[in-house]
Amino acid sequence: MNSRGFQALVAQLGDLSAVQCEALITALKRKLPIGDAVQLIDSKFQADPCCGHCHSKDVRGWSSQGGLKRYRCKTCSKTFNALTGTPLAYLHRRDAWFAYAQALADGLSLRKAAKRCGIALDTSFRWRHRFLASAKTVKAKTVKGIVEADETFIRRSVKGSKRLVGRAPRKRGAPAKAGLSSDDYAPVLIVRDRHGATTDQVLPDLEGATFARALKPVVAHDALLVSDGRAAYSQFADAAGLLHISLNASKGERTFESYHIQNVNAYISRLRGWLRPFRGVATKYLPSYLGWRRLIEREGENISAKRCLMQALSQATT
């Protein structure tokens, strides 16, 4: 990618401040290691410092720490530096950030990412969720036009927990209880329109009211909803006044004229195939992995360490 194309890429991100974008562009064009990139962000930040807590411009210098200049806000009286307010604040080993971002782009497991970056396994775990903190929240705010909705079921897991509450530990390879709606599975609602806008949510249950709470804020009022035969979709569509096409796969209904749910089903298939190498994801961390997958889908072939790193930094101005 040439310099002009890369600048256009950064401009599209929109979540970094102008000062930080300029600093990252300069650093990456020079092929500086990420530690130097952070230092350059700090030097540019000094030209127009802003409180990372309350966003006030009324600040003054307050010594330095760890190679980063610190400031004190006269409005909220808190101190901060150029990384305050970003998910990467307080992380050490800046020399390994870029390599870890590449591990995310490559979809590596925690152990493989730790080995590649030369960090401990528990550090790899903490970094993963720091790097994915922003991606977890980036979802389509509205889906419109022809909207497809379906649910998938991910086996519940307390992987990594030292105590189990409410059930005995499972033996490795033991089958789940019969029926996808059993307590052994977490339902995940996937909603996607024909433009690729995607949102998802881990549901606590399969009640109609639960589906309605998840669908109402995101489905446009003039959308055409296409779903499987679950009654919750029909109930929501009737209450919202939406056109709705229900396809009952058990009766061989795969399409109705040109309407189908193959788009969302293909997305679910890719998601499940991508999750498989992780050998089980703890249910409480499932939203982070769903956000990671959405990031990969949005970027497509352009997924890279640079884009994953910028996504991790994108909370700097929030």
Q: Which domains does the chain have, with CATH numbers?
A: 140-161+178-288 (3.30.420)
**DSSP character at residue 175:** P
Q: Which of 223, 250, 258, 254 is nearest to 237 (CA)?
A: 223
Predicted local distance difference test score (pLDDT) of residue 16:
59
d(CA 40, CA 68): 10
Q: Which of 295, 277, 272, 284 is nearest to 104 (CA)?
A: 295
Predicted local distance difference test score (pLDDT) of residue 19:
59
pLDDT beneath 50: ranges in the chain: 1-3, 6, 10, 32, 34, 37, 316-318
Predicted local distance difference test score (pLDDT) of residue 39:
64
SS3 helix, strand, coil % of the chain, rounded to 5?
45, 15, 40
What is the token pair recorded at 178?
């019969």
d(CA 161, CA 23): 40
Predicted local distance difference test score (pLDDT) of residue 184:
84
Predicted local distance difference test score (pLDDT) of residue 318:
37
Stated as kind and residue range, the H or E segment containing 72 is strand 68-73
| Beta strands 224-228; 79-80: pairing state | unpaired
Predicted local distance difference test score (pLDDT) of residue 270:
97
d(CA 24, CA 19): 9
Give the Cα-Cα-Cα angle 133, 120, 302 (nearest 5 degrees): 45
Cβ-Cβ contacts under 8 Å for 183 (sequence gap 6 or more): 156, 177
Burial 72-96 (b: 16+ CB within 10 A, else e): ebeeeebbbbbbbbbbbeebeebeb
55: left (phi over 0), alpha (psi -120 to 50) or beta: left
In three-state form (DSSP H/G/I as H, E/B as E, the rest C), the secondary structure along 177-226 is: CCCCCCCCEEEEEEEEECCCCEEEEECCCCCHHHHHHHHCCCECCCCEEE
DSSP strands (E only) in 100-173: 146-155
Predicted local distance difference test score (pLDDT) of residue 205:
92
Predicted local distance difference test score (pLDDT) of residue 181:
54
Q: What phi and psi values does residue 302 have, to the nearest 5 degrees?
A: -85, 0
Stated as kind and residue range, the H or E segment containing 15 is none
Predicted local distance difference test score (pLDDT) of residue 317:
39
Stated as kind and residue range, the H or E segment containing 40 is helix 34-45
